[in-house]
Chains A and B, each alone.
Chain A
Amino acid sequence: MDVLYQVFVDPFVQMGAMPDLLIQVIWEGFVSGILYALIALGFVLIFKASGIFNFAQGIMVVFGALSLVGLYELGVPAWLAIVLCIAIMFALAVTVERVVLRPLVNQPDIILFMATIGLNSFLIGFGESVFGGEPKTMITEQLGLPTGSTAVDVLGGRVIFQHLDIAAAVIAALMVAGLAIFFNKSKIGRALRAVADDHQAAMSVGITLQQIWVIVWFAAGIVALVTGIMWGARSDVSFALEIVALKALPVLILGGFTSIPGAIIGGLIIGISEKLAEFYWGPLVGGSIESWVPFFIALIFLWFRPQGLFGEKIIERI
Chain B
Amino acid sequence: MNVMVAERPQPAPTDERISSEVILKVDNITLSFGGVKAIQNVSFDVRRGEVRAIIGPNGAGKTSMLNCINGFYHPQDGTITYRGTPRKQMRPHIAATQGIARTFQNVALFRGMSTLDNIMSGRTLKMKTNLFWQMIRRGPAENEEIEHRKVVEEIIDFLEIQEIRRTPVGRLPYGLQKRVELGRALAMEPTLLLLDEPMAGMNLEEKRDMSRFIIDANEQLGTTICLIEHDMGVVMDLSDRVVVLDHGELIADGTPQEVQADQAVIDAYLGVAHE
Residues in A lying within 8 Å of B, measured CB to CB: 315, 318
With both beta carbons as reference points, the residue of chain B lying nearest to A315 in the complex is identified as B33
7 contacts between A and B (CB under 8 A): A315-B33, A318-B67, A318-B72, A318-B104, A318-B105, A318-B106, A318-B108
Chain B residues with Cβ below 8 Å from A315 are: 33
With both beta carbons as reference points, the residue of chain A lying nearest to B33 in the complex is identified as A315
User: Complex Cα distance A315/B104, Å?
Assistant: 17
User: Complex Cα distance A318/B109, Å?
Assistant: 12
Chain B residues with Cβ below 8 Å from A318 are: 67, 72, 104-106, 108
* Chain A proximity of B210: nearest CB distance (Å): 20
Pick the 3 closest A-B CB pairs, nearest first: A318-B104, A318-B108, A318-B106
With both beta carbons as reference points, the residue of chain A lying nearest to B63 in the complex is identified as A318
* Chain B proximity of A204: nearest CB distance (Å): 27
User: Complex Cα distance A318/B107, Å?
Assistant: 9
Judged by DSSP, the binding face of B is: loop
* Chain B proximity of A315: nearest CB distance (Å): 8
B side interface size, CB within 8 A: 7
Chain A residues with Cβ below 8 Å from B106 are: 318
User: Complex Cα distance A299/B67, Å?
Assistant: 31
User: Complex Cα distance A315/B64, Å?
Assistant: 14
* Chain A proximity of B170: nearest CB distance (Å): 12
Interface string of B134-151 (1 = CB under 8 A from A): 000000000000000000
With both beta carbons as reference points, the residue of chain B lying nearest to A318 in the complex is identified as B104
Name B101-131 residues within 8 Å CB distance of A.
104-106, 108
User: Complex Cα distance A315/B67, Å?
Assistant: 14
User: Complex Cα distance A318/B104, Å?
Assistant: 7
Name B77-117 residues within 8 Å CB distance of A.
104-106, 108
* Chain B proximity of A108: nearest CB distance (Å): 11
With both beta carbons as reference points, the residue of chain A lying nearest to B66 in the complex is identified as A318
User: Complex Cα distance A315/B74, Å?
Assistant: 13
* Chain B proximity of A52: nearest CB distance (Å): 22
With both beta carbons as reference points, the residue of chain A lying nearest to B67 in the complex is identified as A318
User: Complex Cα distance A318/B72, Å?
Assistant: 9
User: Complex Cα distance A315/B33, Å?
Assistant: 10
Chain A residues with Cβ below 8 Å from B33 are: 315
Chain A residues with Cβ below 8 Å from B105 are: 318
User: Complex Cα distance A288/B67, Å?
Assistant: 49
Chain A residues with Cβ below 8 Å from B108 are: 318
* Chain B proximity of A54: nearest CB distance (Å): 26
Chain A residues with Cβ below 8 Å from B72 are: 318
User: Complex Cα distance A12/B104, Å?
Assistant: 56
* Chain A proximity of B29: nearest CB distance (Å): 18
* Chain B proximity of A135: nearest CB distance (Å): 45
* Chain B proximity of A312: nearest CB distance (Å): 13
* Chain A proximity of B145: nearest CB distance (Å): 29
* Chain A proximity of B65: nearest CB distance (Å): 14
With both beta carbons as reference points, the residue of chain A lying nearest to B64 in the complex is identified as A317
With both beta carbons as reference points, the residue of chain A lying nearest to B106 in the complex is identified as A318
Chain A residues with Cβ below 8 Å from B104 are: 318
User: Complex Cα distance A315/B73, Å?
Assistant: 11
User: Complex Cα distance A318/B67, Å?
Assistant: 9
* Chain B proximity of A241: nearest CB distance (Å): 38
User: Complex Cα distance A315/B105, Å?
Assistant: 17
